[in-house]
Structure 1
Amino acid sequence: MIKKKVLFLCTGNSCRSQMAEGWTRHFHGDAIEAYSAGIETHGMNPNAMRVMKEAGVDISSQSSKLASTLAEVPLDLVITVCGHADENCPAFLAQAKLVHVGFDDPPKLAKDAASEEQALDSYRRVRDEIRDFVNERLPELLRS
């Protein structure tokens, strides 16, 4: 069976796209080869790694990388998970089916949190929204 190749693209490849890659590997690793990348690289967000680990998905072995490092990968689907990535998607990715599914930016949501726990709740909410998308809608997008 040939796995479908899916890229989750974000601005800095530190949080949302990393979560999406992790969830895809967790739920669909037998059928989908998941990648994440950014327009820039901002490193791995420790809070994203923490809340994913809470949910039973370890993304600590993933790394923040530029979209250009995947130029030779024959992608089937590119999903932009933030508006900036959608607006600035590198032209070479247009060979694949492009879909935009925006998610709130957890660091921005957590910026004014009154406590660390409240900040983590912002990450958890977005983590769960991404989980639901990957689990429920991603297979549909690959079929259509």
Structure 2
Amino acid sequence: MKKKVAFVCVHNSCRSQMAEGWAKKLGSEVFEVYSAGTESYPEVKPLAIKVMEEAGVDMSGHYPKLLSDIPTEIDILITMGCNVKCPHVPCRYREDWGISDPSGGTIEDYRGTRDVIKEKVEDLIEMVRRECK
């Protein structure tokens, strides 16, 4: 049975979207993947889409979602280091990744964030695989 994982940050416009993209690409056999924000935002950051595309992850259909748009019960909740207290989301496991927001930075900042998120998603996939054996 797949684990429901949700990646949450403030606007769901960059880091949580990248995490969703990586989790869908690398962990589709173990995860049912969601991402959301605590505040609305008009679009996914174009540089986030661009750097993920460079890495072979298509996020062209992604759009910002709110917590109310995802399931109310999640197995794994990952916050991205939003510096805000996320509302209570029922989950079995919760972790904060503390990743800096590259918004307003250079494309290299976005690439660095993309690569850190990929490593963390790979580690999360391995953790779930070990747990499910």
TM-score (norm 1): 0.82
Q: Which protein has the bigger helix share?
A: 1
Unpaired runs of 5+ in structure 1?
111-118
CA RMSD of superposed structures (Å): 1.8
Q: Percent identity?
A: 38
Q: What is the alpha-carbon distance in structure 2 between the residues aligned to residue 122 and residue 131 of structure 1?
A: 14
Q: What is the alpha-carbon distance in structure 1 between the residues aligned to residue 128 and residue 81 of structure 2?
A: 18
Which residue number in structure 2 is paired with residue 116 of structure 1?
A: none
How much does 1:137 deviate?
3.5
Letter in 2 for 1:126: T
Letter in 1 for 2:6: L
1:94 aligned to 2:90?
Answer: yes
Residue aligned with 1:12, SS: coil
Unpaired runs of 5+ in structure 2?
none
How much does 1:63 deviate?
1.5
Q: What is the alpha-carbon distance in structure 2 between the residues aligned to residue 95 and residue 36 of structure 1?
A: 14
Which residue number in structure 2 is paired with residue 34 of structure 1?
A: 33
Which residue number in structure 2 is paired with residue 49 of structure 1?
A: 49
TM-score (norm 2): 0.89
Q: Is the 8 A contact 1:14 1:41 kept in 2?
A: no
Q: Is the 8 A contact 1:39 1:88 kept in 2?
A: no
Letter in 2 for 1:53: E
Structure of larger gyration radius: 1
